[in-house]
Structure 1
Amino acid sequence: MNAHPSPAAARRLHLRSRWQNAARWPLVALGLAFVIGYSVYVLAEDLPPETHGAIFAILALAWICFLVDYVVRLALTPLGHKWMFVRHNVVDLLSVLLPVFRALRVLDLLRDIPYLQRRSGAAVRTRIIIVAAAYAVFYVYFLSLSTLQAERNAPGARIQDFGDAVWWACETLSTVGYGDMYPVTTAGRFSAVLLMIGGIIIVGVVSGTVVSYLSDRIRHVPETSNEDD
């Protein structure tokens, strides 16, 4: 199998790279606008209807832009590499389908930090921990918002304010699950499933990284001879 792409494929990959570089910062700005807009949309219940309409328009615009970006990049990917593109950009695809992943696109900023571009063991572990922590924060915050939106006015709901939603999300993400708070709506339970899956992944990744760090440190500790012979 030829490891080098054909001239046509190389040109498409070059165009995709140029598109990604041009679209990166606008998408980060849209991701931040989405986070702020959705937060206001859920938490500020007493806003006038026209303000809610404007915020909803911003959220819709962000979704359209993320959709266009994904479709363009997929279209510019050569035929033999499209499945690989989908596999390596799962969060990008999910950001088109689910709002919580749309907000996670702002984490692309981490790729531009010079230290995190290094390939040493310490840099890789640092990058994993930072990304996992950032994902956990965004997960808790955004799924708390979406759960509160679904549960707040539901009959028999226990999650009635943002504090309740954050507490519930933290105990669910950490796999503790006290049972004092739980969703009763379909949308709220779907958020709970996402939190459970995310908790398993994040806790597993961080635990594995810590074990790797400790193993590396132990391996580099010099052995001392027994001087009391």
Structure 2
Amino acid sequence: MDYDSRKAHWDRRTEIPLALASMLFLAAYAVRVLGHGLPTAWLDTCLAVLFAAWAVFAVDYAVRWRLSRQGLRFVRTHWLDTLVLILPLLRPLRVVRVYEAVQRRRGQPRLALYARVIVYAGLSALLLGFAGALAVYQQEHAAPDASIRTFGDAVWWTCATLATVGYGDVVPVTPMGRTIAAGIMAGGLALLGAVTGSFSSWLLQVFSSEGEGSGKPPGS
């Protein structure tokens, strides 16, 4: 059995458990960041959930590494898996993959390709935006001269950043906050490009079909 077959078998077995662990990680992190008045026992429980979920991610990474039989080359050739292990806040994006897998098990997906790309990009933007807002708020709200003081400020800034608007009314001032900002900017550009490209392709397909149906070349 080659690597692709072994990996596909492992993915089928771990898809949903890893997605649940990802959502638990995000929920526990959100409580840790936003639950300022919660009892210490609750915060400690959330911290334990964070470490347990990360341990699950580490085991998954180790199994993929072993299945690949590539040695240290696996880290270079699977840099995205390595990045997600280091930055587990990106793990909730696996929910999009789970949705795709469920649709495939039911037969043909209900949505056309272009609509699916837009839907998945929207889900990814929501998850990335929420995780980014949490991370920025954690780094910024207590910093001297910070303009992001509340979680609402962080959400507003994240929405403006993902939409590539960039009003500039609130901005991160800490080095880590700006590093997170750079990642959110890159993610926003990628998602916007996916949606714009899919929508443009769909329009071209529609116009081409209309031109063929009328017997005239498109644009004539």
Is TM-score (shorter-chain normalized) higher than 0.5?
Answer: yes
Report the CA distance between 1:218 and its aligned residue.
0.3
Asked if 2 retains the 8 angstrom alpha-carbon contact of 1:39 and 1:145, the reply is yes
CA distance in 2, matches of 1:156, 1:31: 33
CA distance in 1, matches of 2:142, 2:115: 42
**4+ runs of 1 displaced by more than 6 Å?**
none
Report the CA distance between 1:37 and its aligned residue.
0.9
Residue 163 (structure 1) aligned with residue 148 (structure 2): no
Match for residue 217 of structure 1? 206
CA distance in 1, matches of 2:164, 2:4: 41
CA distance in 2, matches of 1:187, 1:157: 13
Residue 35 (structure 1) aligned with residue 40 (structure 2): no
Listed as ranges, the matches of 1:62-211 within 5 Å are 62-79=53-70, 86-87=77-78, 90=80, 92-114=81-103, 118=108, 123-211=112-200
Report the CA distance between 1:132 and its aligned residue.
1.0
Match for residue 53 of structure 1? 44
Moved more, 70-79 or 136-145: 70-79
Tell me, which stretches of 5 or more residues in structure 1 are unaligned?
1-9
CA distance in 1, matches of 2:115, 2:43: 40
Report the CA distance between 1:110 and its aligned residue.
1.7
Asked if 1 retains the 8 angstrom alpha-carbon contact of 2:162 and 2:184, the reply is yes
CA distance in 1, matches of 2:135, 2:88: 9
TM-score, normalization: structure 1?
0.83
Report the CA distance between 1:34 and its aligned residue.
1.1
CA distance in 2, matches of 1:15, 1:217: 40
CA distance in 1, matches of 2:118, 2:107: 14
Report the CA distance between 1:136 and its aligned residue.
0.7
Q: Which amino acid aligns with 1:108?
A: R
- Count how many residue pairs are aligned between Structure 1 and Structure 2: 212
Tell me, which stretches of 5 or more residues in structure 2 are unaligned?
none
Identical-residue share of aligned pairs (%): 34
Distance 1:27 1:85, change over 3 A: farther
Asked if 2 retains the 8 angstrom alpha-carbon contact of 1:95 and 1:103, the reply is no
Distance 1:14 1:210, change over 3 A: closer
Name the SS for the 1:220 alignment partner. helix
TM-score, normalization: structure 2?
0.86
